[in-house]
Copies of this chain bind each other. A is one copy, B any other.
Amino acid sequence: MIRFGAALAAAWLALGGAAQAQPITLERFGSFHVGGRQVVLSGQPVREYLPTAGSVPLRIDPNGVHMVGQMYARFMVPAPQRGAAPLMLWHGAYLTGVTWETTPDGRPGWDEFFLRRGWATYVTDAVERGRSGAAMVPEIYAPPLHLPAQNPWERFRIGTGAGSYATRSVLPGNQFPTEQYEAFTRQVVARYLGTDADVLAAYVALLERVGPSVVIAHSQGGALAWQVAQRRPDLFRALVLIEPAGIGVAAEAAKLKDIPQLLVYGDYVEQDPRWSVIRRNARGFAAAIQAAGGTVEDVDLPGRGIPGNSHMLMMDRNSDAVAALVQGWLARQGLWR
- Residue numbers of A with Cβ under 8 A of B are 23-33, 36, 38, 41, 47, 49, 51-56, 58, 60-67, 70, 72, 74, 79, 93, 96-98, 101-102, 106, 108-109, 112, 125, 130-131, 133-137, 143, 145-151, 165, 182-183, 185-190, 193, 196, 220, 223-224, 244-250, 273-274, 277-278, 281-282, 285
How far apart sit A62 and B149, CA to CA, in the bound complex (Å)? Answer: 9
How far apart sit A116 and B53, CA to CA, in the bound complex (Å)? Answer: 35
Shortest distance from the beta carbon of A24 to any chain B beta carbon, whole Å: 5
Given A31-B101, A53-B250, A131-B131; 18 other pairs, CB 8 A cutoff: A29-B112, A31-B102, A32-B183, A49-B193, A51-B220, A52-B220, A52-B246, A54-B244, A54-B246, A54-B250, A55-B246, A56-B277, A60-B145, A62-B147, A64-B149, A65-B148, A130-B131, A133-B190
Which residues of chain B are near A150, meaning CB under 8 Å? 64-65
Q: What are 16 of the A-B contact pairs (CB < 8 Å)? A: A23-B26, A23-B27, A24-B25, A51-B93, A52-B224, A52-B245, A52-B246, A52-B247, A54-B246, A54-B248, A54-B285, A61-B148, A67-B149, A74-B101, A130-B133, A131-B189
Q: Specify the chain B residue showing the minimal Cβ separation from A30.
A: B102
How far apart sit A182 and B67, CA to CA, in the bound complex (Å)? Answer: 8
B32 touches A102 (CB 8 A): yes
B133 touches A55 (CB 8 A): no
Shortest distance from the beta carbon of A107 to any chain B beta carbon, whole Å: 9
Contact A66 to B149, CB < 8 A, known contacts A54-B285, A55-B246, A134-B190: yes
Shortest distance from the beta carbon of A221 to any chain B beta carbon, whole Å: 10
B278 touches A186 (CB 8 A): no
Contact A54 to B278, CB < 8 A, known contacts A31-B98, A49-B193: yes
Which residues of chain B are near A52, meaning CB under 8 Å? 196, 220, 223-224, 245-247
The residue that A55 contacts in the complex, of B130, B245, B273, with Cβ under 8 A, is B245
Q: Specify the chain B residue showing the minimal Cβ separation from A103.
A: B30
Shortest distance from the beta carbon of A197 to any chain B beta carbon, whole Å: 13
Q: Specify the chain B residue showing the minimal Cβ separation from A148.
A: B64
Which residues of chain B are near A145, meaning CB under 8 Å? 47, 60, 62
Shortest distance from the beta carbon of A40 to any chain B beta carbon, whole Å: 9
The residue that A62 contacts in the complex, of B28, B32, B148, with Cβ under 8 A, is B148
Output the residue of A67, A79, A137, A182 with the most chain B CB within 10 A: A67
Shortest distance from the beta carbon of A193 to any chain B beta carbon, whole Å: 6
The residue that A148 contacts in the complex, of B63, B130, B274, with Cβ under 8 A, is B63
A67 touches B185 (CB 8 A): yes
